[in-house]
Amino acid sequence: MPFSTQNGASIYFETMGSPTDQPLVFIEGLSAQMIGWREPFCHAFVDRGFWVIRLDNRDVGLSQKFGGPDDFDGDYDMSDMANDTFGVLDTLGLKSAHVVGQSMGGMIAQTMAITDPGRVRSMTLFYTAPSSGPYVGDDLTEHVSRQRETNPHGPRDQIIEKMVESQRFCASTAYPFDEAWIRELAGLRYDRCHCPEGPLRQYAAALRAPDRLPALHALATPAAIIHGRADRLIKLEAALDMARALRNSELHVFPGLGHEIARPLWEEFTRIIERTARRASSPNSRNQSE
C-alpha cells in the first residue's frame, strides 16, 4: 500500500490516471476518509487530463493515528497537516499540484498556499473558512461537544446509523439526500478504520490554527471558492471574506446547497475546478505571493 513518510507522519494515499497529466490533489474534511471523494467524481478529472491524488489525513482512515481512545488533542496543527500533503507530493516526485479541499481540507489547502505558494498551482475551496472562530456555526460546536461526551464505540450498524444522521444534518435543502451512498460510505469507513477519537484531535488542530485571512491577501494563486446558502456548519461570511482576500479568485454561491458536494452539481463543480486549474497555466495568471 502507498504511504508517504516524508514529514514524520505515515500518510496513506492513492492515485488515479496517468502521472504524466497535471496533478490534482483532493483533501478531505474533518473526520472524513479519502473515499469520501467518490470515484466517479474523481474519474471525471482523469478524463479531463488530470492525475488525481487522494489521501487520508492524519488520524483517520489508514494514515497514522496521534493518540489513543482518550486523547482528544494530538498536539499538532494545520501546518503539520499541510506538511503531510506536501510529503505526499514529495513521495510522488511532484514540485507542485492543483489542490481541492473541502471544509477542513480547504483550511489545509489555504495553509499549503500560504506556507509555500509555489507548490500550489491552483486551489478550489469547498465550504471552508479562513479561521475557526467567527465562521463556525453553533451547530458544529454542539456536534463536536456531543462526540466528546458520548461513547463513540458500538456495534457497526449503530455507528453507521449515527453517520447517516450526522450527514443528514449537513444535507442540502435544494438537492435530495443520497442516503444509499451515505450508508454505503459509512460502512466502508468503519471497515477501513473506525477511530472516532481521531476527528476530535483534528478539530483541536483546526481550533488552534491562526487566522489565515491576512496572509491570503498576499496570494495570487488562482482560486475558486464554493459555498452553499444552506450550509449549517460554516457561515457564508467565510466564503465572502476569502473571496475579498484572494484577489485571483472566483466566488460561487449556490442556493439550497448544504455542507456537501451534491451530486446534481458535479458537472458544474467539475467545470469550476478545471477552469481554475487552467487559469494557473494562463500567461496572465501569477501563481506566487507578492
Question: Do the domain assignments include residue 289?
Answer: no
Q: How many angstroms separate the CA atoms of 10 and 48, rounded?
A: 30
Q: What is the pLDDT of residue 139?
A: 65
pTM listed for this prediction: 0.94
Q: What is the pLDDT of residue 142?
A: 63
Question: Do the domain assignments include residue 287?
Answer: no
Summary mean pLDDT of the chain = 93
Q: Kindly report the CATH number assigned to the domain that includes residue 33.
A: 3.40.50.1820
State pLDDT tens for residues 123-140.
Answer: 999 999 999 889 987 666
User: What's the number of domains the chain is made of?
Assistant: 1
Beta strand segments in the chain, E = 3-4, 11-16, 22-27, 50-55, 97-102, 120-126, 223-228, 249-254
State pLDDT tens for residues 47-65.
Answer: 999 999 999 999 999 999 9
Question: Do the domain assignments include residue 290?
Answer: no
Question: Do the domain assignments include residue 233?
Answer: yes
State pLDDT tens for residues 200-259.
Answer: 999 999 999 999 999 999 999 999 999 999 999 999 999 999 999 999 999 999 999 999
Domain extent for 20: 3-281
Question: Do the domain assignments include residue 90?
Answer: yes
Question: Do the domain assignments include residue 288?
Answer: no
Question: Do the domain assignments include residue 100?
Answer: yes
